[in-house]
Each structure stands twice: as C-alpha cells, then as structure tokens.
Structure 1
C-alpha cells in the first residue's frame, strides 16, 4: 500500500510540472519522452535502495519496558480466541480484490472488443497500397485512424485528392514515429491500474501529444491548408482508444499548436526537473519505514536498528516458550 502511495505522489509531481511548464510548449519529442519516462519512473524510484535521510524516532523506553513485562501482561491471546477471531473476521481485503479483478475484466473486455472490431473492419475493407503503406477503405463511418502499421479510412467520407494526401500523411507520421508502442503500453497500464486517475490522465496527454507530432509532420509547408482540413465535418462516429485517430484531440488546441513558435524559455523550465527528481528520490527513500525487517538478531524499524540476545531473554523469561499456553519459537 505504501508503495502505491509513493508511486502516486511521484506521478502527481511529474504531471504537475508537465502541466505547468511543458504542455503548451512546441517540443513534442521531448514531451513524449518526458511523459513515458516519468510514467515508468513512478514504478522504479520507490524500489531503489536509497538511504533513509529522515529516520523516525522510536521510543526505546517503550520497547525496553515491553521486553521486561511478565509474559501474562503482553496481551497475547490464547489459541482458541485467535482461531475464532480469524474464522469470523470480515475480510475486507478479499472484497477489494474481487472489486479490482472485476474492474480489470471490464476494461479488458472493452479493449478486446475494440481489437475484434478493428479486425472485422479489416476483413470487410478494400485494401489499397498507397506509397508502400496498406490503406484499408472500410464501409463504416469512423474517423481516419492508424493501427500498428495500417491506416483505416471510411468510404463514407468524401475528400478531394489534396485532403486525402494530408490525412494519409498524418496517419503515416503516427506509424513512422511508432506511436502504437505508446498506445499499447498505456492501454495495458490502464487495464491494470483502471482505478488510478493519474494513469488515465497520462494516457490523455500522451495521445494528445501524438496528434501534435503527427500534425506537425503533415502540415509542413501548408499550415493554413491543413488547419482548414481540421475544421471540416468528417464522420467522427467512432473513436478507437488503442489506435491513433485523426480527431482524438481538441481541434482548437491542435490549430493553436500549428502556429505556435518554440519558446526559448523551455531550457530554463527544464531545470525544474532537478529539484522535482530530488524530491521524488527523498520520498521514495521513506518507503518501508513502517516495515519491521529482521536479519539474525537485528530488527530494523523506522530507520532504527535493535540488536538483542536470545540468551538474555531466556534468562529473564524461563517460561518464554509457553506464553498463555501458546508455543513460541525464538529461532
């Protein structure tokens, strides 16, 4: 649980910096790298073996008094009480696991249904070879989209030759930049972490950035003409979440990005990554502070280490192995 909290905090910090500093900058390749790397970093950083810079204080007098108490005052339940408590206790963790598995199954079903639908489109479509790329002309109404190395367009839409060239150039940009890799990655994460809003927020911004990158490639030398194309009323009935769709990002934002000039301030904003990363590392170092780790005769708890001698305890407690009738093993 503590691991998930740390992952969430790190994701939140990286996303906050992205929204404040980079989202509106015309640096799409960097933004793609930043979003994917920070998404992975959220999983990795909490597992790194950093030292605990701020160990929590432990009341050593309390631990000493516990060791010196008579066995009958330690509050250890007998075997029968423990049995009935375990038998009739309401297991909330089991209910939560059922709820989680149900969510995974629902999201997986939607993802599989989408893949099956695209395969059905492919079987009923006319395959065209355009500039070395397979283009499938379907009989359904949908936005143009790319799926892995294939492009899908609808026969229901009517474009002139120039418009079709720009649309295909846009989808080819998705293929050449291998945006499908990102889509598969965030779709799998969205399935496993369906309950986590930050995963869906990452997915949203990764996909929007994909469209910015493809627009930049397709609009090269013809920004006004391409911007006019984005405003045309195409058939936008169905959007595919595992693919890159021509209309999957707000049109107004895409047109604004076409005319935006790269800011020279971005290098100064990049320096904000340094304290952000340092803060993430410090937080990750705190993971596991509540865990009691025993190695031999040394117990580590909240950054503090306690070493004890079983022989001394035996001398103080001749009845240690029979606490309230429950056998106890010191080894």
Structure 2
C-alpha cells in the first residue's frame, strides 16, 4: 500500500505540472487536435514517469567533506545501590502517542477511491441498461432512441438520441455531431480521465483536466460538423435552441449545452497560428524536468533506505561519576566503557553499521545531552549493585511510557533471548522510567550487565573473553535489525 500511495502522489504531482503547462501554453490554442494530443500525452506521461527506475542521489553533489555534527550523549545516574532506588528516578511519564495521521489519511483516500470507483461503475451499468431498453436503428453507427434521457450523447459506437428529436431536421446535425465523437474515439479519452479522476479524486486539477478534455471533444465535434458544409449560423442557432441540460452520463461524449459560449467563440477564431506548434513542444522540457525531479526524489528515498544502521552505545557514567564500585578498584564507568569500546571495534567490520559511542574516554557527560541522538537504536551499558550479594544476572530495561515502547520491547526480547545463551548469566526484561529511555527519539534499551556485588557476575564481566561474548550477542541482535 505504501508503494502504491507513493506512486499515486508522484503521478498526481506530474499530472498537475503538465496540466499547468496546458493552462499556460495551450488553453487558447485554436489547433484543436493539438489540444487533445497534449492532454492525452500528459495523462500517459503522468502515469509513466513515476515508474521510471532512474535515480539521482543529490548527496553526490554536496560537499563530500561537509562535517556532520553528532551530538554526543551519556548518562549521569547516582550511584546504584538497589533496583528499587533506580525506579524512583525522574519526572512524569509522557503519554504514549497512538494517533497515526498517515494511517488516517490512507483510510480517507481509500474511502474516496471506493466511492468514486462505485460511481464510475454505476454510470457504466446505467449505459448498459439504457442500451437494453432503447429502440435501435442500425445505420453507420447504432442510433438508439429513448425517452429515458433528455440529451443526446455517444458511448463508443452507440449514439443515444431522445426519441422526440428523431425525424426533425435538426436531428441530422445532432447525429453528425455525435458521429464525430464516435469516429474519433472520444469515449476512450473519457474512460481514461474518469479512471484517473477516481484514483486522484483529491486533486482539483484532475477535475479541471476532465472539464478541459470534454471541452476539447466538443470543439472537435463542432469543427467536424462545420467541415461537412453545415451552415455556421444555423448550427450555432441549433446550439442555442438546445435545452440547457448537462450531459446525461459522465462516461459519454454528448451534445453538451453548458459549454455553448466557449464553443461558439472557438468557431469564430482563426485556426492558423504560426507559434502553436512551438507551444506544443513545451511538453518536452516539462516532461524532462519531471523525469529529473522524480529521479531525485527516488534517489533520496534509496539513499535514506540504504544508509548505515546507526546505533548509539552509551558507556554509563564517567569522569567524576564512577557509578558502582568494588573495593574502589573496579568501577562501573570503566567496565561499561570497556564493553562499549569492544562493541565498536567488532562493529567496525560491518560497512552497513554505524556505531557511535557517547564517550571514548573517562569523561563526565550530562544526562540530557544524549536524548537528542539521531540514531536507529540507543543502548546504554551499565553494571548493577545490590546489598544482597546473592542477586545476580543481566537486566534489560525499556521505558514504561515512550513513543517507541513497542519497538523497544520487541528488540529487548531479542536481546534477552541472545544473552540468555551465556553460561550462568540469566537475563530478564523489565520496565522502568529512566529519562534517557522515555525521551529517546528511537528505540532504546538500558543493559545492566550483571551485578558487581555478586562474585560470579563480577568474575564473568571482568573477563575480556566474556565481554567479547556479551558484545557478540548484542551485535547478533543489531545485525537482525539491520
């Protein structure tokens, strides 16, 4: 559905630009066939151009040495003594956003598409029913007489005439007019523009183009009748004397009375204009520009979709904030930095993975600086502590309330599944209210890699080999997401 909507939007954009070109360059032209060709070619181009596979990446034209500012962030959490105390940190929870404006707009579009599609189907059925009840007279075309319609019109090879017209002198000119519609296959144009109107019903320019197509059809039919030798004044009088009714059915070409003034003006215009052919070729630069614009749009989409998966790894604490300690020699800030650096080293082998550390040395960073990180995933590395030395294991925290809670939870489950494969290290998924998780602009996790207060955990997490195993498990999840 997303691909279809993108195609419709691009097609609508192309059609709008091409029709704007028609209004500027072609609308007042007197070469009527040229007007029809321009409109039909515009419709076809608007459907074809968005299908182009050409892609232009505008980033190639930007300064390759342009520096990209990366806002580094980290966390400042008071020394942890108990999980209960951790959960007491921070502010009011932010209400999770459930409203999705994109889904709402798609639903509105589909409702409109269905309604206009049903309208088109109803009009087609109406013509078939009218054909069934009409009296048929076979000449060059099938002439159908009926009292059910108050205006004459043509649908492909069928010419519908009100029965009370038949036998009158003016009927010959009316039938001659309708034969032009049939012989030039105007019904195909109308079918195409009606389908386009149903698909692009939200674009007012599509409806204006539909009116233009119908007007050009009337110009062509009038021109055809006059070319047979019909007296112009007599024919214009016939137009004026017609009952002022709209065309019976939108799918049909009819003896339309609502456009009489414009049609009569067109009959009096000089049909030879030296610059008209040049104006027609304005379609070429317009189409070229549209091909380039659409290619640039697609290039940006591809560039966006193919960019490296960015993960911010936050080594908890740092500088004056050492976090939890063991005998004042082993500190949380050093262990978290060691694991973070190892993660980056292992991730550097993957060209499609961009891993950013909030700190790469022993330094203190403010808590709120990392919330604005522009990344696909945020992981904060910590070590836990408890007065009860029997408590052990790895804990994966997600925010209780955040706009990315669902994604964070799904990623957290993957992390727990991977880390549970470590020997002797049970991993659990929990919810908390940390500000860095709650306010993160992307899915976010906080990993407490064991308890420094537990002898087994301490021995496990201080071993470089085991740190490598932990990093491998985390990278397994990141690679699945990438």
Which category describes the TM-score, using the shorter chain as reference length?
A: 0.7 to 0.9
Query: How far apart are the structure 2 equivalents of 1:86 and 1:14?
Result: 45
Give how far 1:116 is off.
2.6
Q: Deviation per CA, 1:189-237: give whole Å up to 9, x if none.
A: 1112111212212211111111111111112222222222111133736
Matched, 1:294 2:306: yes
Partner residue in 1 for 2:145: 137
**Mapping of residues 214-225 of structure 1, within 5 Å:** 214-220=221-227, 221-222=229-230, 223-225=232-234
The equivalent of 1:165 in structure 2 is 172
Q: Establish whether residue 195 from structure 1 lines up as the match of residue 235 from structure 2.
A: no
Q: CA deviation at 1:16?
A: 2.2
Cα deviation per residue 1:230-269 (whole Å; 9 max; x = unaligned)?
1113373652101011116510111122222221221332
User: 1:270: which partner in 2?
Assistant: 280
1:208–1:248 Cα contact (<8 Å) kept:
no
Cα shift at 1:164: 1.1
Which of residues 45, 57, 77 in structure 2 aligns to 1:41? 45
Q: Which structure is larger by alpha-carbon Rg, 1 or 2?
A: 2
Change in Cα spacing, 1:228 to 1:279, as seen in structure 2 (3 Å) is same
Matched-pair contact (CA < 8 Å) for 1:124–1:139? no
SS at match of 1:329: helix
CA contact (8 A) 2:16 2:206 kept: no
Contact 1:133 1:150 in 2 (8 A): yes
Are 1:126 and 2:248 matched, yes or no?
Answer: no
Name 1:324's counterpart in structure 2.
446
* Matching residue of 1:302: none
Alpha-carbon contact 1:208-1:249 (below 8 Å) kept: no
Quickly say closer, same or farther: Cα 1:313–1:215, change in 2 above 3 A: closer
* Structure 2 gap ranges (5+): 77-93, 311-347, 358-378, 382-413, 416-444, 448-473
Taking the aligned partners of 2:149 and 2:282, their CA distance within structure 1 comes to 45
Change (3 A) 1:242 1:248: farther
Q: With structure 2 as the length reference, what TM-score do the two structures score?
A: 0.55
Name the counterpart of 2:268.
Answer: 259
Shift of 1:141: 4.2
Alpha-carbon distance between aligned partners in 2 of 1:193 and 1:248, rounded to the nearest angstrom? 27
What is the CA distance between 1:87 and its match in structure 2?
8.4
Task: Please say if 1:310 is aligned against 2:339.
Answer: no
Per-residue deviation, residues 307-326 of structure 1 (Å, max 9, x unmatched):
x7428979998x99966357
Q: What's the offset of the Cα at 1:155? A: 1.9
Counterpart among 10, 19, 22 of residue 18 in structure 1: 22
Query: Quick one: structure 1 residues 104 and 126, their matched pair in 2 at CA, closer, same or farther if it must change by over 3 Å?
Result: same
Q: Once superposed, what is the RMSD of the aligned Cα atoms?
A: 3.7
Q: Is the 8 A contact 1:23 1:31 kept in 2?
A: yes
Does the 8 A contact of 2:246 with 2:258 survive in 1?
A: no
SS of the counterpart of 2:142?
A: strand
SS in 1 for 2:297: coil
Aligned residue-pair number: 307
Secondary structure of 1:287's counterpart equals: helix
Q: 2:291 aligns with which of 262, 276, 281?
A: 281
Does residue 1:179 correspond to 2:186, yes or no? yes
Determine the C-alpha separation between the residues in 2 that align with 1:144 and 1:218.
15
Other structure's SS at 2:237 match:
helix
Which residue does the alignment assign to 1:206?
213
Structure of greater relative contact order (alpha carbons < 8 Å, 6+ residues apart): 1
Structure 1 pair 125–198 and aligned structure 2 pair: CA distance change class (3 A): same
Distance 1:314 1:200 in 2: 48
Partner SS, residue 241 of structure 2: coil
| Secondary structure of 2:68 counterpart | helix
CA drift at 1:276: 2.5
> Structure 2 matches for 1:7-86, cutoff 5 A?
7-50=11-54, 52=56, 54-55=58-59, 57=62, 61-62=67-68, 65=70
Contact 1:141/1:156 (8 A) holds in 2: no
Distance change (3 Å), C-alpha of 1:260 and 1:311: closer
- Whether the 8 Å CA contact 2:247–2:256 is kept in 1: the answer is no
C-alpha separation in 2, matches of 1:71 and 1:47: 45
